[in-house]
């Protein structure tokens, strides 16, 4: 398709040169809108000055020239200043033929650029929730898309494993845990640790109340509650390398990682490399010292280190506290550099919520100022909040939608609907379970990925996600239906697989439309990659499926008399199924053989 377009652009340029001696540098050839006849449209308004004719005449003239000189163009028509070109069926069919010969159609071979994609990046004191789900799905899908577009991709996360929040869970477990473990309770490790985080907060609030009733001012009560003081002491011990504290820290973090791993596996995402803040913050501090020496940063009298970005319309930002300890920014600087040393990256994508827009703006400027060449290709994949009808999610207040619960709920819904529709007859228990999971998670993933990441999502846990219309299950269903056709074809010994579509002559309008849609897939991947947008893929696959269903309903296959027609339609269907499967896998969504 893009080759076709490129070739056409060349021909149009030739036409303009020969007709009006015009050297057009840029010209726009776009898809013809549905309501008009044709495949590609040239807008001729920009050439009127050179042609010294009206728009219709100009379009007519160019059209005649192209029709005569370009074999691929089988016709044209003119509507106002729009020249609609009809591409010959042979071109589309040849293209379809090429598609049948490529198993990885649309995907580029891996090139030399290495891009690192970061997503998830949780704290280790509580389980993953709905917000993480959006994050993980986006990041994982963008990683897939970048890979499909020809990049070497390293998927990673940064685990925020140090800080007071972990000490809170540790302390609460020490005090009230009675030696509980995931094994002894049957709880997932992240859930167990999360419970103690909540417990800490509860006790903390009680202590504050008590202090307030003793007449302490609020500020002081919040700051001097014994349990908080104790947590701070624990953090200090941690930083000093106290063996007992480190052992507890390792144990509880281990539980959490096991829990996360289970959730990631369920959701269907993975990582190639994991970074821990406890390992990178020291490097950050070192680099800040170096930057200070280079004059990129400045030191205040109290010893704190800053970068002044007021020239860029931003603020002053702190990089080291007066006591020399690191802040969030310091750690991110260290992590970025560590990554560039471990892998020779050409760029990096950070999947982080839009409340961090400012942070990453500053981080990128700092890395550029420090002179790293890869700093030119940093991108903050920023996404909007997932809000509940009740408002914002807050872990400490328990108003979160837990990731595991959410997935299970979707799977249960899928089960209900499947059973209601009677779709699972003849399936084994294992096949059923697999199907429910595919469909339930497919609905969830598609629901989240089809919208622009920048937009906020309002999620109502009480209403289940749709399974009809523009949804994951709708697409999965179409795939299953095609597979069903192909199974029947195999039973009937119809050798569609080797059928040469290029020589087919009976192309119907719906079939022609489908070949055009299939031809667009490689371009769509490139666009999705350049925009870091899974939504582009989702919307494309949806259009393809809509187009297929229109064809499916209008043109029955097996009752056709002409065997070539049967084989052609089967081959076309198989290619559609292939692209559906491919596109959905870029979104991290599996498609079933039957449903």
Total interface residues for RNA by CB under 7 A: 91
In eight-state DSSP terms, residue 532 is: T
Burial grade of 532 (CB within 10 A; 0-12, 13-18, 19 or more): buried
Which of 178, 310, 468, 493: binder of RNA (CB under 7 A)? 468
Q: Please identify, using beta-carbon distances, which residue of 364 and 374 lies nearer to RNA.
A: 364
Which of 201, 466, 513, 564: binder of RNA (CB under 7 A)? 466
| Closest distance to RNA from the beta carbon of 211 (Å) | 21
When asked if residue 356 is in the footprint of RNA (CB under 7 A), the reply is: yes
Rounded CA gap, 133 and 43, in Å? 43
Please give the residues from 406 up to 435 whose contact with RNA meets the rule CB under 7 A: 414, 417-418, 421, 423, 435
Rounded CA gap, 515 and 91, in Å? 10
Rounded CA gap, 9 and 520, in Å? 17
Provide the 3-class DSSP secondary structure of residue 383: strand
Provide the 3-class DSSP secondary structure of residue 151: coil
Using only C-alpha atoms, the chain has a radius of gyration, in whole angstroms, of 30
Please give the residues from 199 up to 238 whose contact with RNA meets the rule CB under 7 A: none
| Closest distance to RNA from the beta carbon of 184 (Å) | 30
Kind and range of the H or E element at 78? strand 73-79
| Closest distance to RNA from the beta carbon of 34 (Å) | 8
When asked if residue 79 is in the footprint of RNA (CB under 7 A), the reply is: yes
When asked if residue 462 is in the footprint of RNA (CB under 7 A), the reply is: no
When asked if residue 481 is in the footprint of RNA (CB under 7 A), the reply is: yes
Which of 491, 559, 561, 562: binder of RNA (CB under 7 A)? 559
Q: Please identify, using beta-carbon distances, which residue of 388 and 550 lies nearer to RNA.
A: 550
When asked if residue 97 is in the footprint of RNA (CB under 7 A), the reply is: no
Nearest residue to 499 via CA among 565, 579, 582, 577 = 565
Which token pair is 46? 């920009």
Rounded CA gap, 484 and 479, in Å? 9
With contacts defined by CB under 7 A, name the span among 220-228, 230-238, 290-298, 554-562 that binds RNA.
Answer: 554-562
| Closest distance to RNA from the beta carbon of 183 (Å) | 29
When asked if residue 300 is in the footprint of RNA (CB under 7 A), the reply is: yes
Please give the residues from 126 up to 185 whose contact with RNA meets the rule CB under 7 A: 160, 163-164
When asked if residue 480 is in the footprint of RNA (CB under 7 A), the reply is: yes
When asked if residue 456 is in the footprint of RNA (CB under 7 A), the reply is: yes
Residue 552 phi, psi (nearest 5): -60, -45
When asked if residue 396 is in the footprint of RNA (CB under 7 A), the reply is: no
Residue 73 phi, psi (nearest 5): -95, 120
| Closest distance to RNA from the beta carbon of 49 (Å) | 9
Question: Please, which residues bridge with residue 318 across strands?
Answer: 306
Question: How is the beta sheet containing 29-31 ordered, strand by strand?
Answer: 29-31, 40-43, 82-87, 73-79
With contacts defined by CB under 7 A, name the span among 286-294, 334-342, 512-520, 555-563 that binds RNA.
Answer: 555-563
Q: Please identify, using beta-carbon distances, which residue of 182 and 451 lies nearer to RNA.
A: 451
Which of 174, 223, 278, 354: binder of RNA (CB under 7 A)? 354
Query: Do 238 and 249 meet the contact criterion of CB atoms below 8 Å apart?
Result: yes
Q: How far is CA 222 from CA 175, 394, 497, in A?
A: 20, 19, 72
Q: Write the CB contacts of 526 (distance below 8 Å, at least 6 apart in sequence).
A: 2, 149
When asked if residue 243 is in the footprint of RNA (CB under 7 A), the reply is: no
Q: How far is CA 128 from CA 326, 405, 515, in A?
A: 26, 10, 42
Please give the residues from 302 up to 331 whose contact with RNA meets the rule CB under 7 A: 302, 304, 313, 315, 318, 321-323, 326-328, 331
When asked if residue 46 is in the footprint of RNA (CB under 7 A), the reply is: yes
Which of 118, 207, 277, 402: binder of RNA (CB under 7 A)? 277
When asked if residue 80 is in the footprint of RNA (CB under 7 A), the reply is: yes
| Closest distance to RNA from the beta carbon of 505 (Å) | 21
């Amino acid at each position: 398709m893009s080759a076709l377009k490129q070739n056409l652009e060349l021909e149009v340029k030739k036409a303009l040169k020969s007709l009006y001696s015009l050297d057009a540098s840029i010209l726009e050839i776009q898809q013809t809108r549905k309501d008009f006849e044709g495949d590609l449209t040239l807008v001729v308004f920009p050439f009127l000055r050179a042609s010294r004719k009206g728009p219709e005449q100009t379009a007519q003239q160019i059209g005649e020239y192209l029709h005569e000189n370009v074999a691929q163009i089988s016709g044209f028509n003119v509507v106002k200043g729009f020249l609609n070109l009809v591409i010959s069926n042979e071109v589309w069919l040849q293209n379809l033929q090429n598609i049948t010969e490529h198993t990885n159609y649309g995907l580029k071979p891996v090139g030399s650029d290495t891009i690192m994609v970061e997503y998830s990046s949780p704290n280790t004191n509580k389980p993953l929730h709905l917000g993480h789900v959006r994050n993980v799905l986006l990041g994982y899908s963008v990683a897939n898309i970048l890979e499909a577009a020809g990049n070497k991709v390293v998927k990673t996360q940064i685990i925020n494993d140090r800080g007071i929040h972990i000490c809170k869970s540790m302390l609460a477990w020490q005090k009230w845990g009675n030696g509980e473990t995931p094994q002894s309770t049957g709880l997932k490790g992240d859930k167990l640790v999360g419970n103690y985080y909540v417990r800490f907060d509860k006790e903390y609030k009680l202590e504050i109340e008590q202090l307030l009733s003793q007449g302490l001012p609020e500020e002081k009560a919040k700051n001097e509650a014994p349990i908080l003081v104790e947590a701070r002491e624990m953090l200090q011990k941690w930083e000093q390398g106290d063996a007992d504290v480190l052992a507890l820290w390792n144990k509880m973090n281990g539980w959490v990682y096991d829990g996360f791993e289970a959730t990631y596996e369920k959701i269907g995402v993975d990582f190639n490399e994991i970074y821990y803040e406890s390992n990178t913050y020291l490097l950050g501090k070192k680099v800040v010292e170096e930057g200070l020496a280079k004059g990129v940063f400045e030191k205040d009298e109290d010893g704190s280190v800053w970068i002044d970005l007021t020239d860029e319309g931003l603020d002053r930002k702190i990089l080291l506290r007066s006591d020399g300890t690191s802040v969030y920014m310091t750690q991110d600087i260290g992590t970025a550099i560590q990554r560039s040393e471990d892998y020779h990256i050409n760029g990096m994508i950070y999947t982080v919520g839009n409340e961090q827009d400012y942070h990453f703006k500053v981080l990128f400027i700092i890395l550029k100022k420090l002179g790293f060449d890869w700093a030119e290709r940093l991108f903050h994949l920023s996404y909007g909040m997932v809000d509940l009808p009740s408002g914002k999610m807050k872990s400490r207040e328990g108003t979160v939608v837990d990731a595991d619960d959410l997935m299970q709920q979707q799977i249960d819904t899928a089960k209900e609907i499947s059973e209601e529709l009677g779709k699972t007859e003849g399936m084994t228990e294992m096949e059923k379970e697999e199907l429910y999971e595919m469909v339930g998670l497919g609905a969830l993933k598609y629901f989240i990925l089809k919208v622009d990441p920048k937009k906020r999502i309002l999620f109502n846990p009480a209403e289940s996600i749709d399974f009809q219309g523009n949804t994951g299950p709708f697409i999965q269903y179409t795939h299953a239906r095609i597979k069903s056709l192909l199974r029947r074809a195999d039973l009937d010994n119809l050798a569609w697989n080797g059928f040469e579509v290029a020589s087919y002559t009976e192309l119907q309008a719906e079939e022609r439309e489908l070949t055009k849609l299939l031809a667009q897939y490689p371009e769509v991947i490139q666009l999705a990659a350049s925009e870091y947008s899974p939504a582009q893929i989702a919307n494309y696959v949806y259009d393809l499926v809509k187009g297929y269903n229109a064809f499916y309903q209008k043109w029955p296959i097996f009752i056709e008399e002409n065997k070539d027609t049967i084989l052609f339609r089967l081959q076309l269907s198989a290619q559609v199924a292939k692209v559906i499967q491919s596109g959905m896998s870029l979104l991290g969504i599996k498609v079933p053989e039957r449903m």
